[in-house]
Amino acid sequence: MTPQIAVFLVLAAVAVAGALNLILQRHPIHSALSLIVVMVALAGLYLLQGAEFIAAVQIIVYAGAIMVLFIFVIMLLNAGEEERENLSRLARFVGVPLGLVFLVEVAYWIARATSHMAQSSTQAVSTRELSTLLFREYVFPFELTSFLILIAILGALVLARREDSD
Amino acid sequence: MNEFAAQHPIIIVALPKIVVVLFVLLTALAYLTWFERKVVAHIQARWGPYRVGPHGLLQPLADGLKFLFKEDITPAGADKFTYFLAPFLSLSLAITSIAVIPFGPKEFTIFGQSTPLAITNLNIGLLLLFSITSMGVYGVALAGWSSNSKYSLLGGLRSSAQMVSYELTLTMSVVGVILLAGTFNLSEIVQAQQGFYWGFVPRWNLIGAPFPQVIGFFLFFTAAVAETNRAPFDLVEAEQELVGGFHTEYASFKFAMFFMAEYSSMITVSCLATILFFGGWLSPFPQTGMWTWTHYIPAAAFAIAGVALVIHGVRYLTILGRVVLPMLGLVLCALAVLFIRPGVPDFVQGPFWFLLKIAIVIFVYVWLRGTLPWFRYDRLMTFGWKVLLPLAILNVVITSLAIVLTQK
């Protein structure tokens, strides 16, 4: 077993455990913390692939900015523990089997897709190459996305603005 | 031994480096508290710590012991796991960030393994630092939330809002430097600042062509002070309003860990300011011609400090001081003698100038705390979003314009 595979297994195990914990924890803050663990583990996996920039951005944007907002809102609302109910009959006889089928399906397609990708080995992409791609070839979708985000921000502002009293 | 080293570079090279850097960092942390108390005391015309050891030099040790032996209280109704996690998260993140800081240009050799004067030299060094800073919010926010106390919660909320807001400015303010250097690698950023204008003015980013990063530096430093929760932006732990802020309910060593985290991030930020704007380990003097005598400045500085310490020490009030201070002085003199041996001046240059610049930045940090009054909380947020952030964006635009226009 090469060190790469060992590190991969550890990170993957941490990511999966974090994801499970996210669902199983009853307190919103604990769930949010588990999500942060998942994101950091994913960043580690990107790093393992040589995608340094993506890994750093993953932590800065997801773990460092978005999740901080999550935690901030949970703290502000002082959300308590969620109450747990027994599985309803519908969930037990339809939901669980359907979920299992979905899981097998996804696993099958991922396994198929990755067996094709194994031949075209992924090269480590430096920050410079990535930005060249982003700002030369994919500049149109990139700018379009930023416009979309801008519109979303403006929409949020319009919705959140108080009505002027005068 | 050399063969073993070649096979296991991690054990032989990386581990000792980590241990040494960690030891130096923790000692520096301890004495930073002493330094801060002394400087603030003198600003306020007091003496500061004076009783424990000569000039209060053993005060950090006494403080550490006191923290260790205090009762460790967990407040009723606290969220145990998160309550324990918060200080560990704070401290470990703050300490990790020192790993990418380069202390000097020269590579040195242990057991035939050549290695740079930094724990690691990453291509994404700067990004890694920012990702660690962005995670730093959690320590404070979680501590505030998990303590089950309204003061802590208010402190935690304030801090998350403040740190998220100022992080934007912090990140935007260094974009100018990244544009000038063209890399995220901290060593390469320093190397890009080599050279002199008219033969003697250093080409540091602060005053570098085509667009001096003066605005960038002030934005960076302001945002960094806010990001590390230091006065005049330390509303997170505003004593008059929130008792102790997010760490009100923490006692004993867990409290000490928050303290250490704060000072550790102070050191990291000072390192970063030095690297990004003041040429890192580069000497402020040219290395050739009529300037070669500057190679001996480190030795001279150590010798003068040593002699002064000896002269002062033999007349000190207490017997302990009369023994310890001259001995310290003699150690400094011995180091000075070591520094003028052939080959050594070159090697010492980098770390000496780097540490000197860091010390100056840290002094300014403490000076700010001793001088400036607080911001009101709403003013703080307005200042961050409506003044600092637009200025940072302006700085990026002007810098990139200047680079494009001069690049023909």
Q: Does position B381 have pLDDT exceeding 70, yes or no?
A: yes
- pLDDT confidence tier of residue B153, bands split at 50, 70 and 90: confident
- When CB atoms are compared, the residue of B79, B135, B184 closest to A59 is B135
- In this predicted structure, which of A11-25, A86-100, A107-121, B62-76 has the lowest mean pLDDT? A107-121
With vertex at residue B169, the alpha carbon angle to CA B165 and CA B171, rounded to the nearest 5 degrees, is: 110
Confidence of residue B48 (pLDDT cuts 50, 70, 90): confident
Question: What is the mean pLDDT of the segment spanning A126-154?
Answer: 87
Element (H, E) at B115: strand B113-116
Q: Best mutation site among B160, B162, B171 for testing chain A: the one with the most A CBs within 10 Å? A: B160
Please report the pLDDT score of residue A116 as a whole number.
65
**Interchain proximity B127–A30, CB inside 8 Å:** no
Distance from CA of A52 to the nearest CA of B (A): 7
Q: How confident is the model at residue A123 (pLDDT cuts 50, 70, 90)?
A: low
Look at B142 and A36 and tell me if their CB atoms are within 8 Å.
Answer: no
ipTM of the complex: 0.78
Q: Which residues of B touch A69 (CB under 8 A)?
A: 164
Beta carbons within 10 angstroms of residue B260's beta carbon: 24
| Residue with more model confidence, A138 or B207 | A138
Residue-wise over B296-315: b if at least 16 C-beta within 10 A, else e? Answer: ebbbeebbebbeebbeebee
pLDDT at B330: 87
CB B124 within 8 Å of CB A127: yes
Please name the residues in contact with B297: beta carbons below 8 A apart, sequence gap of 6 or more.
Answer: B285, B352
Size of interface A-B (CB pairs under 8 A): 77
Query: Is B314 a residue whose pLDDT tops 90?
Result: no
The confidence score (pLDDT) of residue A120 equals: 47
Q: Which of B131, B138, B146 sits opposite A60 (nearest CB)?
A: B131
pLDDT range class, residue A122, cuts 50, 70, 90: low
pLDDT at B13 (0 to 100): 74
* Interface mutation vs chain A, best among B88, B123, B138, most A CBs within 10 Å: B138
Report how far apart, in Å, the C-alpha atoms of B215 and of each of A21, B114, B199, B210 are.
45, 38, 25, 14
A37-81 pLDDT, tens per residue?
Answer: 999 999 988 888 877 888 888 888 888 888 888 888 888 887 777
Whether residue B134 contacts residue B167, with contact meaning beta carbons closer than 8 Å, is answered with yes
Residue B129 CB partners (closer than 8 Å, separation 6+): B97, B100, B268, B272
Q: Is the peptide bond before B16 cis (omega within 30 degrees of 0)?
A: no
User: For residue A99, what is the DSSP state?
Assistant: H
Please, which residues have CB within 8 angstroms of residue B57's CB and are 6 or more apart in sequence?
B34, B324
B171: chain A residues, CB-CB within 8 Å: 60
The shortest C-alpha distance from B180 to chain A (Å) reads: 15
How close does chain A come to B330, measured CA to CA in Å?
47
Query: How close is the nearest chain A Cα to the Cα of B182, in Å?
Result: 9
CB–CB contact A72 B127 (8 Å): no
CA A67, A71, A73, A76: dihedral to nearest 10 degrees? -160
Tens of pLDDT, residue by residue over B221-272, are 988 888 887 777 776 666 666 666 777 778 788 888 888 888 888 898 899 8
pLDDT tens, residue by residue, A146-162 = 999 999 999 988 888 87
The domains of chain A are located at 1-82, 90-125, 126-166
Q: Over range B324-338, report the average pLDDT.
A: 86
pLDDT of residue B8 exceeding 70, the answer is: no
Q: Averaging pLDDT over each range in A59-73, A93-107, B110-124, which range is the top one?
A: A93-107
The shortest CB-CB distance from B157 to any of A63, A64, A76 is to A76
Q: Decide the pairing of beta strands B196-197 and B113-116.
A: unpaired
How far is B88 from A82, CA to CA, in rounded Å?
27
> What's residue B81's pLDDT?
85
Residue B12 clears pLDDT 90, i.e. is over it: no
Please provide the average confidence, as pLDDT, over all residues in chain A.
Answer: 83
Q: Binning pLDDT at 50, 70 and 90, where does residue A144 land?
A: very high
| Domain A1-82, CATH number (from 1.20.120.1200, 1.20.1260.10, 1.10.1370.40, 3.40.190.80) | 1.20.120.1200
3-state secondary structure of B314: coil
Identify all chain B residues contacting A55, using CB atoms and an 8 Å cutoff.
Answer: 124
Tens-digit pLDDT profile for residues B50-97: 888 788 888 888 888 888 888 888 888 778 888 888 889 889 988 888
User: pLDDT > 70: what percent of chain B?
Assistant: 92
Cβ neighbors of B98 (< 8 A, separation 6 or more) are: B21, B25, B119, B264, B267, B268, B271
pLDDT tens, position by position, B185-203:
888 888 888 877 777 777 7
Least confident span in A117-131, B24-38, B365-379: A117-131
